[in-house]
Structures are given as structure tokens and as C-alpha cells.
């Protein structure tokens, strides 16, 4: 497979995790990092440079986009900057993995996808769990009827962050809150399973009702959503940045349940276990060998850059997730200061 040289945009928390795993990828090499501060870029570059593979540092994102030695960029900045930087990267001809959510809303996601189409480049939203073999196995179990007909899905992703009001998680100007930060995982998982149950890549909910608490921060500190799909499958989702949940996925069917104790961040260095509890037999513990999902996400660029999209996380799939999040936010009355007053109302009618 073709080797891909990578540039990182925004040397924050997740960028470091990506850089760490990229070293274990089959196809990727970290070539450069860009920050709004040359000093921060240099410090990150020093941390991830090796004798054989030095990492170059740029003091602006635009300089990195202009570098002909970079094949692909990993955009790892706060949500509100994603679309603008995807457009800039696509216009520079770079393949793109953009952190989730691809956009704060569906309109932005359409702009990002349109830019990738026009630029003829790969674009994937970084729901990295989609690239882990555990997720593929789960889809397979659902498709092959391991628990009979799927009836209900429970998915949670919520953590109690201790962050100041200006931090991206708490800050409405940076589209903070649980729905956009972690709710998208639960939405995308429910859509994936509801689709697989009907032999489709994903399914869209026909109804969404929700509850949530918008705290003094002005963002959703925790929220729940109930989804109904045309097939009759229901889902209950929990997301939060100020409450700890058990962060798992349970799929209930007519003949049993599947439990994923580590759906989003499986241990990269140990087997992950899928539990299949059938009503008519003993529990089956399926061991999924250790895998580095951020590295696999990077390797998908080498495999699929010719078609622009990866089957694990394609554009239509991203659009469905962001649209459901628009509806979830609208249902709890969460509108960011930079959004026009009509946005939430419009999404509510979808």
C-alpha cells in the first residue's frame, strides 16, 4: 500500500494520541505539525521526532497546507474550526481526517463534503471506533442474527470533566457540551446498528425526543435522547461532560443481548471482549485482538484515498449523524451564540 506523509493541525490532546499511534500504522509517517504558535509546534515536533523521521514544525496552519511534502492532514482543533480548515486543506489538495464532529451542524458538514468533492481528496470524520475490528464484529453479529431481531439499543458516553469555563468542552463559543463532544458516538452507533439489523450500512431515526441540562456554562452538561427507527427499533442515548456514565453499548434482541463494555476506546494493548448473552444458551465471550484504532483510521486513507471515502465512515453517514445531533440539540433548546435564532427551530421540524 502507498505510504502517506501526515501533517497535524493543532497540537492538543487528541493530536498527541494520534501521533503516538501513527507510529504503529502500516502506511503513515508523521512529517509535520502546525500550531498557531511556532513554539508549541516545535515542542510537539520534538516530542514525536525520531532519528529516522524528524517532524517539522510550522507556526501557522496555512504554511503546513502549502507544503508539497504532505499527503494528508489530521485536523485536531475545536469543533468550530473544522469546516473552515477542511475547506482550506481540500483546496490545497490534501487528504483529510477531521476530528468529530465534522461540523457543528449539517449545513457546515455539507460545505466540508462539497470541498472534498471539488478538491478530489479523501475526507473522513474521525469516529475512530468505526475502524476498530470490534465494531466490524458487532455489525457482523447483528447482521447474522446472533441475538435474533434487534429491538433496542442503549449507548452511553459521558464523563465528568474538571475544566474551566473557557475550555472548549464548556465554552458555547467553541460549541462545547456533551452532545457534540460525545453524543455523536452514541448517535452514530445507534444508526449503525439499526442499519445493520436491516442489512443496510446505517439507518436514520424517524423520531427523536430528548432531555438535557444546560448549566451555567451555557452548554449541555448532560443530555439523553430517545430515537425511534422506521423498523421499530428504539435507542436510548446518554452524553455528558459533567456526569460519569458507564460508557457502554447494549443491543437487545428477540433472542438475547450483546454487551460492549469498551465500545469507544478499547484498550489498544489488550483483547477487547464482546459479550453475547443468548436466552437459550451460555454467554459467549468473543475476544477481539488488541488493535490501535487511530492507526487503522490513518491506514484507511492509504486504502481508500482514490475513492475519497472509507466504507467505515463515509460522507452520507457523517451527514446522518450530524443531522440527528441538530435535532437532539434543538429538542433541548441548545443554540450556540454564533447560530442564528432560526437554526434550532428549523432542525426541530426535520
Ligand X SMILES: NC(=O)c1ccc[n+]([C@@H]2O[C@H](COP(=O)([O-])OP(=O)(O)OC[C@H]3O[C@@H](n4cnc5c(N)ncnc54)[C@H](OP(=O)(O)O)[C@@H]3O)[C@@H](O)[C@H]2O)c1
For position 79 contacting ligand X by CB under 6 A, the verdict is yes
Tell me the window of 78-86, 188-196, 268-276, 283-291 that interacts with ligand X (CB under 6 A): 78-86
At 340, phi and psi to the nearest 5?
A: -65, 150
Tell me the window of 6-14, 22-30, 221-229, 242-250 that interacts with ligand X (CB under 6 A): 6-14
For position 36 contacting ligand X by CB under 6 A, the verdict is yes
For position 108 contacting ligand X by CB under 6 A, the verdict is no
Measured from the CB atom, the residue of 13 and 307 that comes closer to ligand X is 13
When binding is defined by CB under 6 A, the residue of 78, 119, 212, 256 that contacts ligand X is: 78
Q: Which residue is at the shortest CB distance from ligand X?
A: 12
Tell me the window of 33-41, 157-165, 277-285, 323-331 that interacts with ligand X (CB under 6 A): 33-41
DSSP 182: I
For cell 449507548, the residue is 155
Interhelix angle 13-22/293-304, nearest 10 degrees:
70
For position 126 contacting ligand X by CB under 6 A, the verdict is yes
Interhelix angle 106-119/82-91, nearest 10 degrees:
10
Rg over CA atoms, the chain? 20
Task: Report CA 62 to chain centroid distance, whole Å.
Answer: 24
Tell me the window of 23-31, 73-81, 117-125, 271-279 that interacts with ligand X (CB under 6 A): 73-81
Measured from the CB atom, the residue of 3 and 36 that comes closer to ligand X is 36
For position 313 contacting ligand X by CB under 6 A, the verdict is no
DSSP track, 268-288: TTS-EEEEEEETTS--EEEEE
For position 105 contacting ligand X by CB under 6 A, the verdict is no
DSSP 99: P
State how far the Cα of 77 lies from the Cα of 55, in Å rounded to an integer: 19
State how far the Cα of 328 lies from the Cα of 342, in Å rounded to an integer: 15
For position 161 contacting ligand X by CB under 6 A, the verdict is no
Dihedral sign, CA of 141, 142, 148, 150? positive
Q: Give the shortest CB-101-to-ligand X separation in angstroms.
A: 7
Site residues for ligand X, 179-218, by CB under 6 A, read: 181
Measured from the CB atom, the residue of 184 and 256 that comes closer to ligand X is 184
For position 88 contacting ligand X by CB under 6 A, the verdict is no
Largest CA distance in the chain: 61
Which residues would be at the binding site for ligand X (CB under 6 A)? 10-15, 35-37, 40, 76-79, 81, 99-100, 126, 128, 168, 181
Amino acid at each position: 500500500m502507498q505510504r502517506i506523509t501526515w501533517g497535524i493541525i493543532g497540537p492538543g490532546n487528541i493530536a498527541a494520541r494520534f501521533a503516538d499511534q501513527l507510529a504503529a500504522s502500516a502506511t503513515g509517517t508523521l512529517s509535520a505539525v502546525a500550531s498557531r504558535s511556532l513554539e508549541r509546534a516545535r515542542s510537539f515536533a520534538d516530542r514525536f521526532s525520531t532519528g529516522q523521521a524528524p517532524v517539522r514544525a510550522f507556526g501557522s496552519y496555512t504554511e503546513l497546507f502549502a507544503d508539497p511534502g504532505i499527503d494528508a492532514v489530521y485536523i485536531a482543533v475545536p469543533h468550530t474550526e473544522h469546516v473552515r480548515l477542511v475547506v482550506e486543506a481540500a483546496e490545497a489538495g490534501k487528504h483529510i481526517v477531521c476530528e468529530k464532529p465534522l461540523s457543528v451542524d449539517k449545513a457546515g458538514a455539507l460545505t466540508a463534503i462539497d470541498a472534498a468533492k471539488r478538491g478530489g481528496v479523501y475526507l473522513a470524520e474521525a469516529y475512530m471506533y468505526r475502524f476498530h475490528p470490534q465494531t466490524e464484529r458487532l455489525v457482523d453479529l447483528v447482521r447474522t442474527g446472533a441475538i435474533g431481531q434487534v429491538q433496542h439499543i442503549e449507548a452511553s458516553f459521558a464523563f465528568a470533566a474538571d475544566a474551566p469555563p473557557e475550555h472548549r468542552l464548556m465554552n458555547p463559543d467553541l460549541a462545547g457540551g456533551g452532545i457534540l463532544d460525545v453524543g455523536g458516538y452514541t448517535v452514530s452507533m445507534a444508526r449503525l446498528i439499526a442499519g445493520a439489523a436491516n442489512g443496510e450500512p446505517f439507518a436514520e431515526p424517524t423520531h427523536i425526543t430528548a432531555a438535557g441540562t444546560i448549566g451555567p456554562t451555557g452548554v449541555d452538561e448532560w443530555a439523553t435522547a430517545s430515537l425511534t427507527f422506521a423498523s421499530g427499533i428504539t435507542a436510548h442515548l446518554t452524553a455528558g461532560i459533567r456526569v460519569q456514565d458507564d460508557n457502554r453499548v447494549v443491543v437487545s434482541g428477540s433472542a438475547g443481548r450483546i454487551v460492549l463494555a469498551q465500545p469507544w476506546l478499547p484498550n489498544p494493548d489488550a483483547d477487547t471482549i464482546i459479550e453475547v448473552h443468548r436466552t437459550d444458551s451460555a454467554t459467549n465471550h468473543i475476544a477481539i485482538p488488541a488493535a490501535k484504532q487511530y492507526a487503522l483510521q490513518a491506514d484507511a486513507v492509504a486504502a481508500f484515498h482514490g475513492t475519497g471515502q472509507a466504507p467505515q465512515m463515509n460522507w452520507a453517514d457523517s451527514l446522518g449523524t450530524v443531522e440527528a445531533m441538530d435535532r437532539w440539540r434543538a429538542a433541548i433548546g441548545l443554540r450556540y451564540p454564533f447560530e442564528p435564532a432560526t437554526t434550532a427551530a428549523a432542525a426541530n421540524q426535520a
